[in-house]
Amino acid sequence: MIFDIKQKKDKFIEDAYNKSMKELDEFFDLGWIKNTPFIFVVLDRETINKLYREKTEDGVVAWAQSSSRIVYILDRKNLEKESNHKYSKEEYLARIKHELAHMFVFAYSKLFLIRPCWLEEGIAIYLSGQNKFKKSPKKFEFFLESYDKREKEVYNESGFFIELLIKKFGKDKLLTLIKSLKEIKSEEEFNNLFNKIYGFELNYQEVNKIK
Q: Which of 156, 99, 108 lies closest to 127 in space, CA to CA?
A: 99
Tallying the residues shown for the chain, one arrives at 211
Q: Which residues of the chain have pLDDT under 70?
A: none
- Cα distance between the two ends of the chain: 49
DSSP characters for 58-73? TT--EEEEGGGTEEEE
Whole-angstrom CA distances from 108 to 28, 32, 82, 130, 203 are 7, 10, 33, 21, 26
- Per-residue model confidence (pLDDT) at position 129: 98
- Per-residue model confidence (pLDDT) at position 183: 94
Is residue 167 exposed (0-12), middle (13-18) or buried (19+ Cβ within 10 Å)?
exposed
> pTM of the entire structure?
0.96
3-state SS, 130-193, equals: HHHHCCCCCCCCCHHHCCCCCCCCHHHHHHHHHHHHHHHHCHHHHHHHHHCHHHCCCHHHHHHH
- Per-residue model confidence (pLDDT) at position 17: 98
C-alpha span between 57 and 82 (Å, rounded): 10
Whole-angstrom CA distances from 173 to 22, 81, 164, 185, 203 are 21, 42, 12, 20, 18
DSSP annotation of 86: P
CB 161 within 8 A of CB 118: yes
Give 72's strand partners.
40, 63
CB 37 within 8 A of CB 70: yes
- Per-residue model confidence (pLDDT) at position 29: 97
- Per-residue model confidence (pLDDT) at position 1: 83
